[in-house]
Amino acid sequence: MAKYLKQDDLGSWLKELGKTYKVIAPVEEGDAVIFRPLTDERTLRIDRQATQGPKGVLFPACEELVSFKYGKDPEKPEKVTVDIQETVDAEPTLIFGSRPCDARGFDVFDNAFTKCSVKDSYYMARREQAVVVSLACTKTETTCFCNWVGGAPDGKGGSDVLLTPITGGYLVESVTDKGAALLDSPLLSEATGEHTAEAEKLLAAARESLREAPDFKCVPEQLYNLFDNMDFWEKQAAKCLSCGACTYLCPTCHCFNITDEQQGNQGSRIRSWDNCMSRLFTEEASGHNPRPTKAHRLKNRVGHKFCYFPDMHEGHIACVGCGRCIKSCPVALDIREVVTAAKECRLPEEETADD
């Protein structure tokens, strides 16, 4: 089902949806564009890729998992008791204006948090109540490579509704049943053949504008082959500052830490984003660290996205090609170059075999 929404009606449509959902959309914040609850005071910015994707809507950068309170047993005043309470904060939420790559990031999260033996109840509670309305990309950037990793500027994975900007408004397509319900608004009209033809033409041009996708089939095997080749990894990681910006901005990174905070006799057990580029991520109490250098850690980050995650989740690559890690890395480390180098790296045995 495809509909048409006039540019002038976008605000009213979001207001209407705001009666059912808390609407989260990319808004201006200084120089950055960040996903925040949409209010009259905030300026919607959907003409460019948001600085950070919307992963924080379903997986907050920081959230309370459990609260606790120390008390005294009235029967035995010398005995300290502990009362614990789980806190799940989930409400019907509409994520508006994510890009197709960002929406595919939620596919990665779904695999990681809901399709495993133990499921993340916090993420699931939010995911169930969320609808994702994405905006197809009619303009791409030099850092974009969604097509290398199974996506496209008009990819539908992870979205419930897909909007394509066309003359005077948007072509609005539902992807899931959840999304179809959103199209039931008097503000939307039936799309015409002209609307769909224009959208298709713009999207074809966008797909065309991306660099041709290299064949990544051999990458997982090659990453395993290179595991012990620390020369390779040291060369790749030479510039890295271990700042972790790449992981915090990545729409697929989902590692976290759990820490306690206490004030007086009560406190919280908090979950917050963590990052595998930091030395402390794997350091053990004995001082032993299985990933002691930044080369070991970059190997894990790239390996996880292109090799371990696909191994565990039917070939799904845990990178959606959004390019944010490339754009925001202070030393311009380019994950495309690392993977391409891995792909093309000849192993020492092969070289000697040829000689």
Partner 1 sequence: MTKIKNPYLPEMATVKEIIQETHNIKTFRVVLNNEQRMKDFKFEPGQVGQLSIFGVGESTFVINSTPTRMDYLQFSVMAAGEVTQRLHALQEGDEIGVRAPLGNWFPYEKMKGKDVVIVGGGIGMAPLRTLLLYMIDNRDDYGKITVIYGARTPQDLSYSYEFEEWAAAKDMNLVLTVDNEAPGWDHKVGLIPNILLEESPSPENTVAVTCGPPIMIKFTLQALKKLGFEDENIYTTLEKRMKCGVGLCGRCNIGSSYVCVDGPVYSFAELQKLPNEL
The residues binding ligand FAD (CB under 6 A) are 284-286
CB of 246 to ligand SF4, least distance (A): 3
243 binds, among ligand FAD, partner 1, ligand SF4, none (CB under 5 to 8 A by kind): ligand SF4
- Residues numbered 139-198 forming contacts with partner 1, rule: CB under 8 A: none
Among 44, 90, 181, 245, binds ligand SF4 (CB under 6 A): 245
CA distance 243 to 330: 9
Do residues 335 and 148 make contact, with C-beta atoms less than 8 angstroms apart? no
Nearer to ligand FAD, 107 or 274 (CB): 274
Our finding on whether 260 is near partner 1 (CB under 8 A) is yes
Q: Which stretch binds partner 1 (CB under 8 A): 60-68, 188-196, 209-217, 342-350?
A: 60-68
Residue 157 makes CB contacts below 8 A (sequence gap 6+) with 100, 103, 104, 107, 151
Among 2, 44, 125, 181, binds partner 1 (CB under 8 A): 125
E strand or H helix at 17 = helix 10-17
For partner 1 (CB under 8 A), the number of binding residues is 60
Residue 164, beta-bridge partner list: 171
Burial of 41 (0-12, 13-18, 19+ CB in 10 A): exposed
Nearer to ligand FAD, 118 or 285 (CB): 285
Nearer to ligand SF4, 250 or 295 (CB): 250
Burial of 297 (0-12, 13-18, 19+ CB in 10 A): buried
CA distance 22 to 25: 10
CA distance 55 to 58: 6
CB of 152 to partner 1, least distance (A): 27
CA distance 102 to 34: 13
Among 5, 240, 338, 345, binds ligand SF4 (CB under 6 A): 240
Residue 32's nearest CA partner among 249, 184, 293, 199 is 249
Our finding on whether 320 is near ligand SF4 (CB under 6 A) is yes
CA distance 95 to 51: 15
Nearer to partner 1, 163 or 342 (CB): 342
Question: What is the 3-class SS of 315-329, one letter each residue?
Answer: CCCCCCCCCHHHHHC
- Residues numbered 261-280 forming contacts with ligand SF4, rule: CB under 6 A: 277
Among 131, 325, 342, 345, binds ligand SF4 (CB under 6 A): 325
Our finding on whether 321 is near ligand SF4 (CB under 6 A) is yes
Letters for 65-104 (x = contact with partner 1 by CB under 8 A, - = none) are xx-x-x--------xxxx-x-x-x-x--------------
Helix, strand and coil percent figures for the chain, each rounded to 5: 35, 25, 40
Letters for 265-294 (x = contact with partner 1 by CB under 8 A, - = none) are --x-x-x--x-x----xxxxxx-x-xx---
Among 129, 189, 229, 340, binds partner 1 (CB under 8 A): 129
Q: For the residues of 168-199, what is the DSSP string, one character each?
A: TEEEEEE-SHHHHGGG--TT-EEPPHHHHHHH
CA distance 92 to 72: 39
Q: Which residues bind ligand SF4 (CB under 6 A)?
A: 240-246, 249-252, 277, 305, 319-325, 329-331, 333, 335
Q: Which residues bind partner 1 (CB under 8 A)?
A: 65-66, 68, 70, 79-82, 84, 86, 88, 90, 112-113, 116-122, 124-125, 128-129, 224, 227-228, 254-262, 267, 269, 271, 274, 276, 281-286, 288, 290-291, 296, 300, 303-304, 307-309, 311-312
